[in-house]
Amino acid sequence: MASIKDVAAAAGVSVATVSRVLNEHPSVSADARTRVLAAVEALGYRPNAVARSLRTDQTHTLGLVISDVLNPYFTELARSVEEEARALGYSVIIGNADERPDLQDHHVRTLLDRRIDGLLVSPTDGGSPLMLDAARAGTPMVFVDRWIPGVEVPVVRADGRAAVRDLVAHLYGLGHRRLAIIAGPAATTTGSERVEAFRAAMAEYGLPLPDAHIGQGDFQAESGRRVTEGFLDLPEPPEVVFAADNLMALGALDAIRARGLRVPDDIALAAFDDIPWFVHTDPPITAIAQPTGELGRAAVRALVDRIEGRDVPASVTFAARLVVRRSCGEPAPQEPSPSPVQRSTS
Amino acid sequence: MASIKDVAAAAGVSVATVSRVLNEHPSVSADARTRVLAAVEALGYRPNAVARSLRTDQTHTLGLVISDVLNPYFTELARSVEEEARALGYSVIIGNADERPDLQDHHVRTLLDRRIDGLLVSPTDGGSPLMLDAARAGTPMVFVDRWIPGVEVPVVRADGRAAVRDLVAHLYGLGHRRLAIIAGPAATTTGSERVEAFRAAMAEYGLPLPDAHIGQGDFQAESGRRVTEGFLDLPEPPEVVFAADNLMALGALDAIRARGLRVPDDIALAAFDDIPWFVHTDPPITAIAQPTGELGRAAVRALVDRIEGRDVPASVTFAARLVVRRSCGEPAPQEPSPSPVQRSTS
DNA sequence: CCTCCTCGTGGAATCGTTTACATCAATGCG
DNA sequence: CGCATTGATGTAAACGATTCCACGAGGAGG
């Protein structure tokens, strides 16, 4: 592969001049410029990004470590992150942690070794020393969706409290009283937060939430299946199952179907995170939707602001919203229009 | 960040010795080794992958350019690719082309600039000069799922011919005669191949396939919706719609639902590419399933074989299989067990 | 006419590694 | 005892870019 030396030789100038042409340095003659450009064209020369990075100490690359690529929510997040990053002149390397702390660590380490300019993380757990050290050492970092409390890193996320309250209100209005939740791992903020919001809303309506109605899941379909089976085995099973993410909802559906039960007649179902398929499941599933695209874009902008030293980025919080469909027992009205965005500084 | 020099200084040896310890070179004394390791630990030193790549001319990184991350099929493919690559000591950088040739080109260029060791591509179109040049210039490359005819690059894919014939047989058996297909872009092999297989199977059963029953889609949901609307507007609409991928099937469902029609009573639906959600749609959707994970793993192995110069990798073809559910008109039996794998050389 | 800038250019250092080569001490063997 | 071999180490040259610095030519201003 042709290097800058070959170009310099072909154009009859020094490598310094070639570099200046390529980087649009002002002080280079028109004559030299055209000769260099011609040589570049003729040789099909492309600068070696590895060498360039070594010298300039920047890779123009962002790392994105997400919890699970197979989850459509994170896929959409990844897509919007890449899109915004590309618009700002950055590439993205995605690391899929599969909800496993060891894999998360592996990816963070690899990304750091590659000297990415900044890191976007949706942490799978409380944070390994590795990640915390990196944050403390000054690696530009932004948490997205999930975060780690007590760490000085901006967070871009959606707040589901209000939507969860809306959901409980909706369920209460339909006459449901025994509600159960399939929670995510307590080590994740979204895992514990959604349970907390649910518990608070239940209390608000004077409904009991026995421990038996809080199932411990791990955001994967299989755990949704397992927990739901447990619920169904209860002497008095819940009337509603609320899954804290869409994959566990899928598992719950599997379990319910395996028993030959029907939604919502025998048991109602709702989920956190909306996806296009929820419109076509049997029945269409009531869900809490996050403004995923905006989340991804805002996170990238915050991170790039930090990298390029414009200012210290603030945390951003969007609102999630309830989308009522038929899985809890009533014909759905129109799909509501998107809710307004709310920003806050932390 | 600490560099190898710092480690050398701290351990009281030269950088060469540090490098030797880190690369497990045999000729280094036990004493020196322990001192170096201690210094590494103390300083939290991690080798700079950028510098190492520059020197060794290998990045231990694979590029994967896929057509659409939002398509669960490709997400699963990406996941299996990353998994296998990691097992073999490689990282993966994913580029999402969104079915756009210009984006595909952008990613190929960026990946090449980063001097990735090899490229895995599922081409969106007939192939840009850039990609073809790279292949000719000797960049290790493997096509996965889709390929470009006439290019000397191994292909790892699933052959859907038999499964499509099975599907047509199934539909014929249910009494359906007017079948329509939502095709993918003709520029993609999977786009044209699936139509061809469908056409051949139809001919085998003596069924006509008028042009009006071949809708032109682009593998995205929106096109599925549009084409399906066209079908439904026909004076004599088809009895069955076969979508060449799962996203177009989603669009078709949207369109059918918008008309207040029911599947399969008013119109039947089948799709290429199976996904977990198809079990829970209303009704469960009959689909052709690919061994996606195996595809990804085989592709990586072929590419790495090529990179590490073990041998010239052969093309590999797996078989797709029909999964009958209820969307075409009959209660589904058991889910069939996985089909055997078939290998061929090209 | 001399001096001082400015502009275009090239030489060479540098980024953090790996590795070919040289060096030196210790060992084995005739 | 002397010489060849081996093993452990260090020195320095790459890899391909960017960029500081020096240099010479030319123009402007006194």
Given a cut of 50, is residue B339 above it in pLDDT? Answer: no
- Output phi, psi for A29, to 5 deg: -70, 155
Given a cut of 50, is residue B61 above it in pLDDT? Answer: yes
pLDDT at A288: 97
Given a cut of 50, is residue A28 above it in pLDDT? Answer: yes
CATH architecture of the region A58-157+293-314: 3-Layer(aba) Sandwich (3.40)
Mean confidence (pLDDT) of chain A: 92
Given a cut of 60, is residue A337 above it in pLDDT? Answer: no
Contact B114, B61 (CB under 8 A): yes
Read off the pLDDT band of B345 (50, 70, 90): very low
pLDDT at B128: 84
- Least confident window among A28-32, A199-203, A307-311: A307-311
- A316 token code pair: 């951003």
Averaged pLDDT, A241-246: 96
pLDDT at A309: 86
Q: Which of A280, A282, A292, A335 to mutate to test the interface with B (most CBs of B within 10 A)?
A: A280
- CA closest to C1' of D14 belongs to B55
B70/A49 touch (CB, cutoff 8 Å), yes or no:
no
B109/A72 touch (CB, cutoff 8 Å), yes or no:
no
Please name the residues in contact with A161: beta carbons below 8 A apart, sequence gap of 6 or more.
A193, A197, A200
Nearest-CA distance from A343 to chain B in Å? 28
Comparison of pLDDT for B127 and B10, the residue scoring more: B10
pLDDT at A312: 78
Averaged pLDDT, B222-227: 96
Comparison of pLDDT for B329 and B90, the residue scoring more: B90
CATH architecture of the region B161-289: 3-Layer(aba) Sandwich (3.40)
Read off the pLDDT band of A282 (50, 70, 90): confident
- Please, which residues 97-116 of chain B have a Cβ atom closer than 8 Å to chain A? 106, 109-110, 112-115
What's the Cα-to-Cα distance from B138 to each of A218, B113, B134, B185, rounded to whole Å? Answer: 45, 15, 6, 28
Read off the pLDDT band of B333 (50, 70, 90): low
The counts of H helices and E strands in chain B are 12, 12
CATH architecture of the region B4-47: Orthogonal Bundle (1.10)
pLDDT at B331: 57
Mean confidence (pLDDT) of chain B: 92
The answer to whether domain B4-47 and domain B57-157+293-313 are alike in fold is no
Give the start-to-end residue ranges of the domains of chain B: 4-47, 57-157+293-313, 161-289
B186 beta carbon to strand C: under 7 Å: no
Averaged pLDDT, B2-15: 95
pLDDT at A269: 96
- CA–CA separation, A208 vs A61, rounded Å? 49
Read off the pLDDT band of A315 (50, 70, 90): very high
- Write out pLDDT tens, residues B100-157: 999 999 999 999 999 999 999 999 987 789 999 999 999 999 999 999 998 999 999 9
Question: What is the H or E stretch that residue A321 is in?
Answer: strand A321-323
For chain A, the farthest-separated pair of C-alpha atoms sits apart, in whole angstroms, at 87
A50/B47 touch (CB, cutoff 8 Å), yes or no:
no
pLDDT at A303: 97
Contact B240, B178 (CB under 8 A): yes
pLDDT at A340: 37
Of 1.10.10.10, 2.40.10.10, 3.40.225.10, 3.40.50.2300, which CATH number belongs to B57-157+293-313? 3.40.50.2300
- For residue A293, the chain B residues in CB contact (below 8 A) are none
Contact A33, A10 (CB under 8 A): no
What's the Cα-to-Cα distance from B302 to each of A262, B133, B313, rounded to whole Å? Answer: 46, 20, 5
Nearest-CA distance from B88 to chain A in Å? 14
Given a cut of 80, is residue B90 above it in pLDDT? Answer: yes
- Least confident window among A63-72, A124-133, B14-23, B334-343: B334-343
* Protein CA at B5 to nucleotide C1' at D12, angstroms: 15
Averaged pLDDT, A48-65: 97
Question: What is the H or E stretch that residue B316 is in?
Answer: strand B316-319
Averaged pLDDT, B183-197: 93
Given a cut of 80, is residue B311 above it in pLDDT? Answer: no
Averaged pLDDT, A25-49: 95
pLDDT at A346: 39
- A57 token code pair: 């100490």
